Amino acid sequence: MRIEDMSLDQSVELNHCICRRIDELRDRENLQALSQLRVGLKVTIEGQKGAVLGIVTKINRKSVFVPAENGTTQYKVSPGVLRPPREEK
């Protein structure tokens, strides 16, 4: 069936199915990322202003609290956006 031939009800149902699947995939990725995290672990957050180094202080089911190493900002982020700190050369 082509999407152009679908009724409104069929389109809405398809949308719900796709949204559920996206949520399942994101949850799976977050659980995998959470299993790698520990309180006190140094991590890097890629932000709009570049990389920010911080330390994990609290881990929730869907979010992680990371104060910036400079102490000015605290981030509440999805575990999937955290990376190991970059190696200093």
Report pLDDT digits (tens) over 3-61: 899 999 999 999 999 999 999 998 898 888 888 899 999 999 887 778 889 999 999 98
Phi-psi bin for 29: left (phi > 0), alpha (psi -120 to 50), beta? alpha
Whole-structure pTM value: 0.68
For 4, phi and psi rounded to 5 degrees?
Answer: -70, -25
> Edge-to-edge strands of the sheet including 58-59?
58-59, 64-67, 74-77
How far is it between the farthest Cα atoms of the chain? 59
Report pLDDT digits (tens) over 62-86: 899 999 877 788 899 988 888 887 6
